[in-house]
Structure 1
Amino acid sequence: MVDQVTEKEVKLQLAKAIRMLEAIELLDMNGHVSCRILGTDRFLINSRKASRASVTVNDIVMCDLNGKLLEGDSEPPSEYHIHTEIFKRRNDVMSVIHNHPHYQTVLGIADVEMKPVFGIGAFVNNVPVYEKSSLINTAEMGAELAESLGNEISVQLRNHGTVVAAESVKAAFARSVFLEENAKKQYDAMLLGQDIRVLEGENLVRTRETAWQPSIIRKVWTYHEEKAIKEGTLAGINDQTPKTVLS
């Protein structure tokens, strides 16, 4: 049996990540965040019916790697295959986020490759593109998407959104934030109508080494968590009554 304290803490992290991502418009009425339970073939994810704006710890469900519901009162999102197929292929990945970020999606629509142009976004390297834009609601499509991701940290779903993979919920959250911030700065720079200056060479290497540390992940999470508390975004997150407003 999974340690209940650890499971409770992970559920709270997931609920916080979802609410914070919704507050900064990286999630909307759709999208999902998952976390593999260490040493098992199970994972936690927000339920399909839970509002992303008011998700609580009670809206986090447990499934096996075939998407079968093991604990919780509602089924997982229809795109759970994104998470299961990545977990099956990547032992290094503990958390997966599927979101719908504006600027990354716009760059994809314009067929513009994402480049490292911003300090904390310098981890952007190769962002592959999965060309099918519909819901990833079959195991076959989930497997294709996971193959497209390969060993990278993010894959773009053309005309749809983005998937981010990381070693923890907090790392996946931080990567999601700065992938979008990097894309926004790239987009804005391109509006000036000149060639953009991309980080490269030794400058890129040093920037990555100094700007993407565990301390940065903690700092990003703490900033957004404290801001969310101040703004009331996390109110009632430990409620035991699921917020059932979506289907």
Structure 2
Amino acid sequence: MGIVDKNVVKLDVAKAVRMLEKIGLLDMNGHVSYRIAGTDQFFINSRKASRASVTAADIVMCDMDGRLLEGDSEPPSEYHIHTEIFKRRSEVLCVIHNHPHYQTVLGIADVAMKPVFGIGSFVKNVPVYEKSSLVNTAEMGAELAELLGDEVTIQLRHHGTVTVGESVKAAFAKSIFLEENAKKQYDAMLLRHDIRVLNGENLVRTRDTAWQPSIIQKVWTYHEEKALKEGALIGIEGDLQEELLQ
């Protein structure tokens, strides 16, 4: 395991939360976590922090039982979503629980999400977790994680989604394009129910060419620069500003 700069991680998590809130994938609820590779420790935005004004200082560190290790506030009540996935997926370092509009609407209509958009073509199987209440127990978190299996995302019927990735930036980018894919599928189905879906060799090539590390960084940079331009990241460093500038 390499050395992890905790302040940089906290800043990335806080940025992800603010940027997801700015584009409507998070609202007053939702959370982003980052697990330190090879450990049982993870960072997550605190329960009390507003998603619109969260700072790096609002990112707390916990163990896999949700016990606070660093920070001055408790984790969100749904931290079990994150811990139970981390326990089962060693390659997953980031978990994001979103409340996206179009993915949730497709779920309410019982319409399976399909790969219909180039950069969203990584969509494969999207399991559906049928319990719509808060996932605030270890038992429910374990059920959700087992159902997710090796997939990228899972839908919580009438509630939201959970998306995983190998980094904060990767999970962020996946969150963006899962919703964009769902939006395009929804709009296309307004025109005709029997829509054209990516498949065969075309799907394979599209997946291979459209999802690269450079694209992940490009997505992050675009949203970060847009958020900076619109003033959505003002004060993001919080009390960590002096340390982050050293």
- CA distance 1:58–1:24, shift in 2 (3 Å): same
**In structure 1, C-alpha distance between the alignment counterparts of 2:57 and 2:132, rounded to whole Å:** 31
Give SS of 2:239's match.
coil
Q: Which moved more, 1:31-40 or 1:138-147?
A: 31-40
Alignment of 1:171-210 (within 5 A): 171-210=170-209
Task: Give the letter for the 1:13 counterpart.
Answer: D
Matching residue of 1:244: none
**In structure 1, C-alpha distance between the alignment counterparts of 2:234 and 2:131, rounded to whole Å:** 37
Please, what is the CA RMSD of the aligned residues?
Answer: 1.3
**In structure 2, C-alpha distance between the alignment counterparts of 1:171 and 1:193, rounded to whole Å:** 33
Q: So what's the TM-score if we normalise by structure 2?
A: 0.96
- CA distance 1:19–1:135, shift in 2 (3 Å): same
Alignment of 1:52-63 (within 5 A): 52-63=51-62
- Deviation, 1:239, is 1.5
Unaligned runs of 5+ in 2: 241-246
Alignment of 1:128-139 (within 5 A): 128-139=127-138
Matching residue of 1:81: 80
- CA distance 1:168–1:77, shift in 2 (3 Å): same
Matching residue of 1:8: 7
**In structure 2, C-alpha distance between the alignment counterparts of 1:3 and 1:121, rounded to whole Å:** 31
**In structure 2, C-alpha distance between the alignment counterparts of 1:116 and 1:239, rounded to whole Å:** 39
Conserved 8 A contact 2:4-2:36: no
Give SS of 1:210's match.
helix
- Deviation, 1:38, is 1.9
**In structure 2, C-alpha distance between the alignment counterparts of 1:134 and 1:27, rounded to whole Å:** 17
Matching residue of 1:117: 116
**In structure 1, C-alpha distance between the alignment counterparts of 2:219 and 2:199, rounded to whole Å:** 24
Q: So what's the TM-score if we normalise by structure 1?
A: 0.95
Give SS of 2:140's match.
helix
- Deviation, 1:182, is 0.1
Output one character per residue of 1:180-239: Cα deviation in whole Å (capped at 9) or x when no partner: 000000000000124100000000000000000101100000000000000000000011
Give SS of 2:28's match.
coil
Alignment identity in percent?
78
Matching residue of 2:102: 103
Give SS of 1:70's match.
strand
Unaligned runs of 5+ in 1: 242-247
- Deviation, 1:23, is 0.2
Give SS of 1:111's match.
coil
Matching residue of 2:42: 43
- CA distance 1:92–1:19, shift in 2 (3 Å): same
Task: Give the letter for the 1:178 counterpart.
Answer: F
**In structure 2, C-alpha distance between the alignment counterparts of 1:238 and 1:77, rounded to whole Å:** 20
Task: Give the letter for the 1:80 counterpart.
Answer: Y
- CA distance 1:5–1:88, shift in 2 (3 Å): closer
